[in-house]
Structure 1
Amino acid sequence: MKNLVRQINTPSRVVVAAFLAVVLSGTALLSLPIAVEAGREASLTSALFTATSAVCVTGLAVQDTAAHWTFFGEMVILVLMQIGGFGIMSLASILAVVVSGRLGLRARLNTQAETKTLGPGDVRRVLVGVAKVTLAVETLIAVALTARFVIGYGEPFGRAAYHGVFHAVSAFTNAGFALWPDSIMRFVTDPWVCLPLALGVVAGGLGFPVYAVLRQNWRHPARWSLHAKITLGMTAILLFGGATAITVTEWNNPGTLGPLSPGLRILAGFFHSAMTRSGGLNSVDISQMNENSWLISDVLMFIGAGSASTGGGIKVTTFALLAYVILAELRGEPDVTAGRRRIPEQLQRQTLTIALLSVASVATGTFVMMMVTPFKLDRVLFEVVSAFGTVGLSTGITPDVGTSGHLVLTALMFIGRLGPVTLGAALALHIQTRRFRYPEERPLVG
């Protein structure tokens, strides 16, 4: 246990300290009178919550972003989103470099051959690569949105460009902040706004290691790393599977998809599924959804996006590896395999540890929130999973959970953003060898 704590305190503490410093800096800036509109209160709790939500690219908000914050405040949020999104992609990828550097020679060579992207000495290449991907995707989304706001809605170019850039950053970083009080519900019938935002969220949720593999071998899927194959495959399955489930469940709901035409219902269902990847924007009223849809969303938000991406959750690779472990056990196979590759037992234990500790975090957060707020389990669970998964979707109770509730959600956002990343790195670095083994005994299970 002491060795594990030491591993957590080695490279991972730098990540935690860096994010904490940015959160505190953002809190200080958002607490300034210049950051809030006249007549609004510069509350420390509100500033801390908003700064944490922006840096952890969550999107939960206790205030109407456009109405409460001035242009200065909005720019602070924009910068915090960009730092949070770029930082988590960079630091998560660099931690992978550190992990590969601490492994034995054979394991290190296997890791580099498998990922085809990361290895000791690649830190500069990782940072440059992440910056290029971020700039390219955000620019494309910003141009598309700006053109739509100018052509379709007659907005002045300056205002359209500002909205385009802000929401492009919000989408790619999976931050979920919007400059309209109804998120983007006013654009539910506009695919020229919804689709760029949805695709931006999906793109941000893939992660730099996947982009590096695609850049080298996009024409040859057989040469893709196992990580890239799992990430892309599970993203597609969860994205379209979630869209189908949400669309079917909400098809006749008069408060959400019911008033829309069949084509627009499919668009809205797809958009919501994409946002549960960790996007956080909403084109329909979440509070009017069926409880079944909330449960589907809970599952999708908890799984989250890809590793070393701007998205949160336990990550699609963690979920997929758990499925492979279960499948191997049901088949009675001695090894866990995926794509003709054997999954190491140590990685299986890491996956199980991250998943169970994440479940414990959500359960604990839900229990505490039930104690300090008057809301029922379904709404509280949705809010907790959204915070832990750094998603930002809400049934509308965020502003009303009180100071205690806001502090709990703030802690969940921070833990959910950094917990799986730092814990995964610490577990990978925590490798011990023993010169003896205890006698085996099988307790009953099931």
Structure 2
Amino acid sequence: MPAVTFSRGRSGANRFRHPTRVVAAGFAAAVGVGTVLLLLPVATESGTGAGLVDALFTATSAVCVTGLVTVDTGGYWSTFGEVVILALIQVGGLGIMTLAALFTVLVAHRLGLRRRLLAQAETKTLGLSGIGGLVRNIVLFSLASEAVVATVLTARFATGGAGQPAMPFDRALYHGVFHAVSAFNNAGFSLNSDSLMGYVTDPLVSLPVAVAVIVGGLGFPAVFDLARNWRRPSRWMVLTRITVGVTAVLLLVGTVITILAERSNPDTLGPLSGPGKLLAGFFHSAMARTAGFNSIDMSALGPETLFATDLLMFIGGGSGGTAGGIKVTTFAVLAVVIWSEMRGETRVNVGRRRIPEGNQRQALAIALLGIGAVAVAVFTLLIMTRHSLDLVLFEAVSAFGTVGLSAGITADLPPAAHLLLIALMFIGRVGPLTLASALALRQRTRRFEYPEERTIVG
């Protein structure tokens, strides 16, 4: 089947050759609709309407499933406003995964016959005719996962525990559904002014939220592959092996670093018991994978923990999921490239599969462009504000990685800085997905080669 091309008219002058443009336009349209709805007086508790920057910032954060906020979600927005935010989160999360599914098919059809057959066998997608079934499975899986987590959270909120009073059932159900949708879509929006700090030692809240974040952040290709072959790891795709392996390692490393760095901090993990420290450390590590909830005071974290969190946020989660960042696959491919180069190997292999040079170039491009975007944003924010470098860096990486964790300076930033973070959130959400797809779709074979000349590197 040839590459997908949409045309209008006889001349074909308006052919749709760049589907990535539609992605950006679609996300921008959703942000625009959300902004208009949040500007309505009925969207705020005061009934006076929100400011334009606050509405735009919140809508962008929700559609890009980030979680950064300029106002208290539960205290500033009315029930109508909160439902709008919840709908934007759901649209943003499902949109990311379904678009990733579409791009998987588009990229597969630009491959050679042999690679196309391999890609189709791995994704279980036979062509554009099968995209409907794939999208349906993604939607059903997302809604089912959210329903399971919402049920557990509703039961916990309704019964109370861990020092928190029981909620009336209708309020518990509302909180359970809101936090479940926000967690699975890696958004990090919370109806509580202190996020989930009140449940720092409550495993019946922290663990379901963390599991939802991890599952949503793995990405649909890895999740569906695990569902098919969970008893036969030898048959996992390379993508699944990388995603699961790197995710497990980063979760462990993040947990250990957080516990070691914050174990004596009286404002974070210091007062907690051993199991409490372990739960809080694991929860923080999971949230740094682009979720945005926090069970400890982020503004009280030490600089070493902030920097380690920066690295986790920048890497992000799996491809084709609701997590942000440059993706664990990008990080893993670059790590394997470096390891292969250090060993003097001419080919880059993962297991018994060779990573194509095109994938290596894509990973390098995404990582360097991400570093560039963060660097420009940090430099600009340092000029705009008087906050220290570690806090500004944390805020910028959180926005680019669509994480939503904040060291407590978001609301204090000037409007110009808020607009910069809006742009960074949009780039961080739309950029890696569209860039990776655009690079793959644009691959072509040059019919000639220039003479080779080595240069000095390093």
With the shorter chain as reference, the TM-score category is: over 0.9
Q: Is the 8 A contact 2:218 2:319 kept in 1?
A: yes
**2:22 aligns to what?**
14
Change (3 A) 1:118 1:300: farther
Q: Distance in 2 between matches of 1:418 and 1:13?
A: 10
Please give the TM-score of this superposition, normalised by the length of structure 1: 0.97
Q: Distance in 1 between matches of 2:16 and 2:206?
A: 40
**2:53 aligns to what?**
45
Q: Distance in 2 between matches of 1:101 and 1:127?
A: 18
**1:186 aligns to what?**
198
**1:225 aligns to what?**
237
Q: Is the 8 A contact 1:101 1:120 kept in 2?
A: no
Q: CA deviation at 1:117?
A: 5.0
Q: Is the 8 A contact 2:219 2:321 kept in 1?
A: yes
Q: Is the 8 A contact 1:7 1:429 kept in 2?
A: no
| Match for residue 151 of structure 2 among 143, 148, 151 | 143
**2:90 aligns to what?**
82
Aligned AA for 1:176?
G
Does residue 409 of structure 1 match 2:421? yes
2:109 alignment partner, SS class: helix
Write the mapping of 1:69-218 to structure 2, written as runs, cut at 5 A: 69-117=77-125, 119-152=127-160, 153-218=165-230
Q: CA deviation at 1:121?
A: 2.8
String of CA shifts for 1:9-44, please: whole Å, max 9, x gaps: 611111111111100000000001110111655101
Q: CA deviation at 1:129?
A: 1.1
Q: Distance in 1 between matches of 2:15 and 2:440?
A: 9
**2:321 aligns to what?**
309
| Match for residue 361 of structure 2 among 339, 345, 349 | 349
Q: Distance in 2 between matches of 1:74 and 1:435?
A: 56
1:205 alignment partner, SS class: helix
| Match for residue 66 of structure 2 among 52, 58, 64 | 58
2:190 alignment partner, SS class: coil
Q: Distance in 2 between matches of 1:106 and 1:274?
A: 38
Q: Is the 8 A contact 2:41 2:47 kept in 1?
A: no
Question: How many percent identity over aligned positions?
Answer: 57
Between 308-317 and 368-377, the greater mean CA deviation after superposition: 368-377
Change (3 A) 1:40 1:184: farther
Q: Distance in 2 between matches of 1:40 and 1:118?
A: 52
Q: Distance in 2 between matches of 1:312 and 1:9?
A: 26
Q: Distance in 2 between matches of 1:15 and 1:377?
A: 33
String of CA shifts for 1:412-433, please: whole Å, max 9, x gaps: 0000001000000000011122
Q: Is the 8 A contact 1:250 1:256 kept in 2?
A: yes
Q: CA deviation at 1:115?
A: 4.0
Change (3 A) 1:40 1:378: farther
Change (3 A) 1:40 1:270: farther
Between 392-401 and 100-109, the greater mean CA deviation after superposition: 100-109
Q: CA deviation at 1:434?
A: 1.9
Q: Is the 8 A contact 1:148 1:193 kept in 2?
A: yes
1:122 alignment partner, SS class: helix
Q: Distance in 2 between matches of 1:441 and 1:119?
A: 42
Q: Is the 8 A contact 1:8 1:426 kept in 2?
A: no
Aligned AA for 1:355?
A
Aligned AA for 1:20?
A
Q: Is the 8 A contact 2:125 2:131 kept in 1?
A: no
Q: CA deviation at 1:116?
A: 4.4
| Match for residue 377 of structure 2 among 355, 365, 370 | 365
Change (3 A) 1:12 1:161: same
String of CA shifts for 1:157-194, please: whole Å, max 9, x gaps: 10000000000001000000000111111111211111
| Match for residue 31 of structure 1 among 30, 39, 63 | 39
Aligned AA for 1:47?
A
Q: Distance in 2 between matches of 1:70 and 1:114?
A: 45
Aligned AA for 1:135?
L
Change (3 A) 1:373 1:39: farther
Q: Distance in 2 between matches of 1:198 and 1:108?
A: 36
Q: Distance in 2 between matches of 1:198 and 1:322?
A: 27
Q: Distance in 1 between matches of 2:110 and 2:38?
A: 40
**1:435 aligns to what?**
447
**2:3 aligns to what?**
none
Q: Distance in 2 between matches of 1:334 and 1:115?
A: 29
2:283 alignment partner, SS class: helix
Q: Distance in 2 between matches of 1:117 and 1:286?
A: 43
**2:10 aligns to what?**
none
Does residue 254 of structure 1 match 2:262? no
Change (3 A) 1:114 1:333: farther
String of CA shifts for 1:349-395, please: whole Å, max 9, x gaps: 11111111111011111111111111111000000000000000000
Q: Is the 8 A contact 2:225 2:240 kept in 1?
A: yes
Gaps of 5+ in 1: 1-5
Please give the TM-score of this superposition, normalised by the length of structure 2: 0.94
Q: CA deviation at 1:154?
A: 2.1
Q: CA deviation at 1:125?
A: 1.6
Does residue 339 of structure 1 match 2:351? yes
Q: Distance in 2 between matches of 1:177 and 1:8?
A: 36
Gaps of 5+ in 2: 1-13
String of CA shifts for 1:90-145, please: whole Å, max 9, x gaps: 11121111111122222211322344457443210221111111011101110000
Q: Is the 8 A contact 2:40 2:49 kept in 1?
A: no
Q: Distance in 2 between matches of 1:8 and 1:293?
A: 46
2:218 alignment partner, SS class: coil
Q: Is the 8 A contact 1:129 1:208 kept in 2?
A: no
* Structure ranking higher on relative contact order (CA contacts 8 Å, 6+ apart): 1
**1:3 aligns to what?**
none
Q: Is the 8 A contact 2:105 2:125 kept in 1?
A: no
Aligned AA for 2:247?
T
